[in-house]
């Protein structure tokens, strides 16, 4: 398959002018990402704005470049959306340019991590338990509280590793690296081993003690507060939180739908109040 050029991906929005009141450009090129964005942003903007398609451009750098080139007048309002990623931890400056919006969570998948949405999806599938029982059995906040401390430490460690370009995978690693069961819990020993491997890599590149120094800075700059909310905001949603959730649902409910369909169902039900400020960036 021949991949379309960056220019052709960008130009595609012209052909949807009859179906969109605004142009939304994103960096995520995963097949299901477009529908997730349409569902979440369409609801966040309200029923008065027609949105049937969003337009993936490619990497974050490509989105930033296109946005920087689109600072003049245009026939339709637009916004360019990039992931939060580890940027805040890595002290990556964010360009102060018109139409640019950085997600306030790690990625769009983090907005799917919503208890009510999960319960509603399960209620449509689990025939032998009512919604109240499903909510009790899920124990979303209790489960999250149980994993939040370890996931937080790992998230900060991975951010430090990315900041220093360590050779240990800090984003797309198998969920088995931090789990030893199928119940959605994290293995403290495996998490410790993962953190130690990142520490060793960083210190070998930057010198002994550099990992600990950067870790302490991030730990103090981003205090835990409510541990559950912290993890939902900053931990990788697609590669850590959702895989852990799927394990939790399989073990507690026998729920085993495909990842793509599960994410789309959550997108139709998740709370979108955290995305409502996107409207301010449409210009």
For 76-89, b/e burial (b = at least 16 CB within 10 A) is: eebbbbbbbbbbbb
pLDDT at 122 over 90: yes
Average pLDDT over residues 5-34: 72
**Non-local CB neighbours of 104 within 8 Å, separated by 6+ positions:** 84, 233, 274
Where are the domains positioned within the chain? Answer: 6-109+274-281, 127-254
**pLDDT winner (highest mean) among 13-27, 158-172, 237-251:** 237-251
Q: How confident is the model at residue 90 (pLDDT cuts 50, 70, 90)?
A: confident
- What's the confidence (pLDDT) of residue 8? 54
Average pLDDT over residues 245-260: 93
pLDDT at 70 over 80: yes
pLDDT at 271 over 70: yes
Q: For residue range 24-58, what is the model confidence (pLDDT) as tens digits? A: 999 977 878 999 999 999 999 987 889 999 999 99
Write out the DSSP string of 208-247: TTHHHHHHHHHHHHS--SSHHHHHHHHS-IIIIIHHHHHH
Average pLDDT over residues 261-281: 96
- What's the confidence (pLDDT) of residue 278? 96
Q: Quick one: which H or E segment has residue 145?
A: helix 140-163
pTM: 0.91
Q: For residue range 204-246, what is the model confidence (pLDDT) as tens digits? A: 999 999 999 999 999 998 887 778 999 999 999 999 999 999 9
- What's the confidence (pLDDT) of residue 10? 57
Contact 189, 138 (CB under 8 A): no
- What's the confidence (pLDDT) of residue 3? 47
Whole-number average pLDDT of the chain: 91
Average pLDDT over residues 58-69: 95
Of the ranges 101-110, 194-203, 218-227, which one carries the lowest mean pLDDT score? 218-227
- What's the confidence (pLDDT) of residue 225? 75
* CA–CA gap between residue 52 and residue 21 (Å, rounded): 9
């Amino acid at each position: 398959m021949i991949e379309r050029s960056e220019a052709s991906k960008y130009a595609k929005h012209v052909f949807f002018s009859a179906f969109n009141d605004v142009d939304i450009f994103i960096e995520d090129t995963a097949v299901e990402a477009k529908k997730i964005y349409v569902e979440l942003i369409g609801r966040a903007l309200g029923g008065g704005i027609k949105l049937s398609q969003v337009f993936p451009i490619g990497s974050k750098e490509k989105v930033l470049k296109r946005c920087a080139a689109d600072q003049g007048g245009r026939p339709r309002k637009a916004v360019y959306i990039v992931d939060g990623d580890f940027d805040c931890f890595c002290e990556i400056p964010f360009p102060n340019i018109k139409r640019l919006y950085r997600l306030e969570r790690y990625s769009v998948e983090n907005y799917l991590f919503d208890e009510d949405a999960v319960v509603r999806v399960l209620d449509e599938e689990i025939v032998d338990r009512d919604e109240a029982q499903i909510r009790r059995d899920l124990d979303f906040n209790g489960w999250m509280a149980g994993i939040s401390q370890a996931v937080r430490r790992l998230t900060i460690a991975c951010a430090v590793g990315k900041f220093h370009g360590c050779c240990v995978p800090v984003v797309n690693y198998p969920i088995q690296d931090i789990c030893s069961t199928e119940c959605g819990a994290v293995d403290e020993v495996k998490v410790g081993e993962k953190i130690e491997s990142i520490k060793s890599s960083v210190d070998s590149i930057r010198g002994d003690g550099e990992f600990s120094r950067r870790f302490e800075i991030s730990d103090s700059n981003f205090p835990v507060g409510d541990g559950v909310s912290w993890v939902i905001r900053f931990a990788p949603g697609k590669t850590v939180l959702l895989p852990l959730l799927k394990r939790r649902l399989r073990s507690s409910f026998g729920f085993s739908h495909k990842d793509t369909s599960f994410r789309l169902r959550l997108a139709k039900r998740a709370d979108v109040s955290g995305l409502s400020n996107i409207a301010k960036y449409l210009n």
